[in-house]
A and B are shown apart, each in its own frame.
Chain A
Amino acid sequence: MSHSSPVVSVSGVTKVFGEGDSDRVRALENINLDVHPGEFISLIGPSGCGKSTLLRLIGDLIKPSGGTVQVNGKSAHQARLDRDYGMVFQQATLYDWRTVRKNVQLPLEVMSYAREKREARAQEMLKLVQLEEFSRHYPWQLSGGMQQRVAIARALAFEPSLLLMDEPFGALDEMTRERMQMELLRIWSQTQTTVIFVTHSIPEAVFLSSRAVVMSPRPGRLAGIVEIDLPRPRAFETRESAPFFEKIVEVRECLRRDEVRVASA
C-alpha cells in the first residue's frame, strides 16, 4: 500500500441531520479515514450506517457538522471547485436529450474544453467502457448496465483524481453486476484513479477493494477496516477461491461483532 500523502483525509467528522430539532439524526459520529492514491476503497454496511452520507461529505454535496474533510490537501469544497471529483450514482442520470457521446461530453462542455478535445476525450472514454458503437444512441435505447457504463465514462472524461461511486450497480441484476465489477476493475487499473465505492454487498466489496471500510448504524461510525490483499488482476476464478471466502467471512465477522457489541451495551 502506498504511504504517500493521502488523497482523502477525513478527521473527526460528525454529521447531524435536522440539527436543533427534537427528531435530529446523528448520521455520522467521529469518522477518521485516510485514502491513499490509487486505492480502491469500499464503504460497506447496512442501511442507515451513513456510508452514502460519508461519500457525499467527501464530495462536498453536503457539509459536515463537525470535523474536517481534506482532499488533495485542500478543503472538500475547494476540491469540488477544482473539479477533482468524478461521481457515479445508483441511477445513471444520463440526460435524455443527449446522445451517449454528448452525455460523456457534458462535463467537458461545462468545463469549457475545446470542441476537438471534447470529441477526442469522449471517443477515448467510450472505447474504455467498450461502447463506441453506441455513441449516437440515446440513453433510452441502452440497457441499465450500458447506461451505467456511460455514466462511468462521463465521470472519468475530465480525468478527476478521485472517483466517488454510490451503489452504482445496485439497480442491476446479479449477472450484469458481476460483469460490471470486472469492467470497473479493468478501468481502474488502466486509469489509476482512486476510487471510493459505496455498497451493501459484501462479495462486491471484497471482490473490488484494496480495503473495505466496514460501518455500523445508529449513529453511523467505523466498525473496522479489512485489508483485502487478494492477488490482482482479479478474475472470475477469484470469486471461487478460498482466500475470497475468508475475506468475506472477515468482513461479515466485523459487521456482526459490532451488532453484538451494540446489543450488549
Chain B
Amino acid sequence: MSQPADLIPALEEELEAELLPEAGQALRTGQRLRRYLPAILLFLLALGAWEMAVNVFHIEGFLLPKPTVIASTFVRELPVILPAGLFTMREALGGFVLGCVLGILIALATSRWSIISDGAMPFAIAVNSTPIVALAPIMNNWFGITNPLAKMSIVAVIVFFPVLINTVRGLTQVNDGALELMRSYAAGEGAVLFDLRIPNALPFLFSAFKVSSTLSVIAAIVSEYFGGSRDALGVYISQQAALFHFAEAWAAIIVACLMGVAFYLALLVFERLVMPWHVSLRAAEE
C-alpha cells in the first residue's frame, strides 16, 4: 500500500461505509439473525416442553396453565389488562422521571460541593443495596392506598440511588489530561462542567437509566401487590392469583414483561440519539 500508515485504518472504514452501505447493512442483519437464532429456538422449545409437560403429567390448569391457554386468555383479557398495564406504566414513568430528576440535581450539587458527596455517598451506596420496595406499605399509608403518588414515590426512591451514584461517578471520574487541558485554557467552572463533566457523565447516566427502567416497572407492580387502585396491573395480578385464575395472572404478567422491555428499548433508542459518538464507539469495538 502506498498510503501513509496512519491513514489506512480510517480509509478502510471510509471505503466500507461509502462503497458497501447496503451490503454492510444486509450482512449485519444476517449476523444479528444468526446471533439471536439460538435464543429464539430455545424459547420455542421451552414453550413446547411446557405445553407437553402439562399434558403428559396431567398438571392441573389452576396450578400451571398451558402456554396455549395463556395465549388465548391474553387475547380475551386484553381490553382489561392493557389499560391496567398503561395505568401502572404511568406510575412507573412518573416515579422514574421524579427519581431521575432528583438524582441528577443532587449529583450536580455533590460534585460542586464535595462535602456533600463525602457525607452522602457512603449512605447512598448503603441505601441502594437495601430492599426499598419493602417501604411500599408505609407509602400506601402516607399517600392513600389508591393514590398513584404512593407508587410513584416508591419508584422514585428506587430509581434515585442508582442515578445519583452513577451521575456522581460520571461527573468526577474525568480523565486527568482532559482536565489539564481545560486548566491550560484557564477555563471557568461552568465550562468544565458543561463541556467536560456532563458529557463525560452521559454514558454513566444512561447505564443508570437502563437499570432503573426495569427496576421502576418491577417496583410499581410489586408495590401494587400491597394494595392499590383496581385499575392497576399489580392489583389485577394479585387478585386473579388469589382466585386461582392463573391463566389471567400469567396473561397480565406478559403485559408487565412487554412494558419493561418496551421501556428499556425506548431508552436504548434515546441513548443512540443523545450519544451517537458513544454507541458507534461500542459498535466499532464489537
Whether the Cβ atoms of A106 and B195 lie closer than 8 Å is yes
* Choice from B10, B181, B185 contacting A134 with Cβ under 8 Å: B10
Q: How large is the interface on A (under 10, 10 to 19, 20 to 34, 35 or more residues)?
A: 35 or more
Closest chain A residue, CB of each to CB of B284 = A140
Q: Give bound CA distance, A97 to B281, whole Å.
A: 10
Q: Which residues of B lie under 8 Å from residue A31 when comparing CB positions?
A: none
Whether the Cβ atoms of A83 and B185 lie closer than 8 Å is yes
Near A by CB (< 8 A), chain B positions 188-222 give: 191, 195-196, 199, 202
Whether the Cβ atoms of B10 and A95 lie closer than 8 Å is no
Q: Which residues of B lie under 8 Å from residue A170 when comparing CB positions?
A: none
Whether the Cβ atoms of B187 and A110 lie closer than 8 Å is yes
Q: A61-B180, A93-B181, A95-B199 are in contact. Are A143 and B9 (CB under 8 A)?
A: yes
Whether A137 is near chain B, meaning CB under 8 Å from some CB there, is: yes
Interface locus among A35-43, A171-179, A191-199: A171-179
Whether A188 is near chain B, meaning CB under 8 Å from some CB there, is: no
Q: A96-B277, A97-B277, A97-B278 are in contact. Are A87 and B6 (CB under 8 A)?
A: no
Closest chain B residue, CB of each to CB of A134 = B10
Kindly supply a per-residue 1/0 record for chain A positions 75-116, scoring 1 wherever the CB is within 8 Å of any chain B CB and 0 otherwise: 000001111011101010101111000000011011100000
Q: Which residues of A lie under 8 Å from residue B8 when comparing CB positions?
A: 143
Whether B183 is near chain A, meaning CB under 8 Å from some CB there, is: yes
Q: Give bound CA distance, A172 to B4, whole Å.
A: 13
Whether A6 is near chain B, meaning CB under 8 Å from some CB there, is: no
Which of A81, A96, A137, A144 has the largest count of B CB atoms less than 10 A from its CB? Answer: A96
* Choice from A111, A172, A173 contacting B185 with Cβ under 8 Å: A111
Q: Which residues of B lie under 8 Å from residue A146 when comparing CB positions?
A: 6-7, 10
Q: A89-B177, A93-B177 are in contact. Are A83 and B6 (CB under 8 A)?
A: no
Q: Give bound CA distance, A145 to B10, whole Å.
A: 11
Whether the Cβ atoms of B184 and A85 lie closer than 8 Å is yes
Whether the Cβ atoms of A97 and B275 lie closer than 8 Å is yes
Taking the nearest CB of chain B, how far is it from the CB of A246, in angstroms? 30
Closest chain B residue, CB of each to CB of A56 = B180
Whether the Cβ atoms of B6 and A81 lie closer than 8 Å is no
Q: Which residues of B lie under 8 Å from residue A158 when comparing CB positions?
A: 185
Whether B55 is near chain A, meaning CB under 8 Å from some CB there, is: no
Q: Give bound CA distance, A140 to B199, whole Å.
A: 16
Whether the Cβ atoms of B284 and A61 lie closer than 8 Å is no
Whether B178 is near chain A, meaning CB under 8 Å from some CB there, is: yes
Q: Which residues of B lie under 8 Å from residue A172 when comparing CB positions?
A: 6
Q: A87-B180, A138-B280, A176-B5 are in contact. Are A97 and B185 (CB under 8 A)?
A: no
Closest chain A residue, CB of each to CB of B196 = A95
Whether the Cβ atoms of B195 and A109 lie closer than 8 Å is yes
Q: A93-B178, A95-B196, A138-B277 are in contact. Are A61 and B183 (CB under 8 A)?
A: yes
* Choice from B4, B9, B183 contacting A179 with Cβ under 8 Å: B4
Whether the Cβ atoms of B6 and A144 lie closer than 8 Å is yes
Whether the Cβ atoms of B13 and A141 lie closer than 8 Å is yes
* Choice from B6, B195, B202, B281 contacting A140 with Cβ under 8 Å: B281
Whether the Cβ atoms of A81 and B181 lie closer than 8 Å is no
Q: Give bound CA distance, A145 to B8, whole Å.
A: 11
Taking the nearest CB of chain A, how far is it from the CB of B183, in angstroms? 6
Q: Give bound CA distance, A82 to B8, whole Å.
A: 40
* Choice from A85, A137, A175, A176 contacting B10 with Cβ under 8 Å: A137
Q: Give bound CA distance, A106 to B178, whole Å.
A: 11
Whether A142 is near chain B, meaning CB under 8 Å from some CB there, is: yes
Closest chain B residue, CB of each to CB of A180 = B6
Kindly supply a per-residue 1/0 record for chain B positions 270-284, scoring 1 wherever the CB is within 8 Å of any chain A CB and 0 otherwise: 000001011011001
Whether B130 is near chain A, meaning CB under 8 Å from some CB there, is: no
Q: Give bound CA distance, A81 to B187, whole Å.
A: 9
Q: Give bound CA distance, A176 to B182, whole Å.
A: 28
Taking the nearest CB of chain B, how far is it from the CB of A158, in angstroms? 8
Whether A59 is near chain B, meaning CB under 8 Å from some CB there, is: yes
Q: Give bound CA distance, A175 to B277, whole Å.
A: 29
Contacts A/B (CB < 8 Å), 23 sampled? A61-B183, A61-B184, A81-B186, A82-B186, A83-B186, A86-B184, A93-B177, A96-B278, A106-B181, A107-B185, A110-B187, A110-B191, A111-B185, A140-B277, A141-B13, A143-B5, A143-B9, A143-B10, A144-B6, A158-B185, A176-B5, A179-B4, A179-B6
- Beyond the given pairs A97-B199, A145-B5, A175-B5, 15 more chain A to chain B contacts, judged by CB atoms under 8 angstroms and listed by A's residue number, are A61-B184, A80-B183, A82-B186, A86-B184, A87-B180, A87-B181, A87-B184, A93-B178, A95-B195, A95-B196, A95-B199, A97-B278, A106-B185, A146-B10, A173-B5
Nearest 5 Cβ contacts at the A-B interface: A145-B6, A93-B177, A143-B6, A97-B199, A87-B184
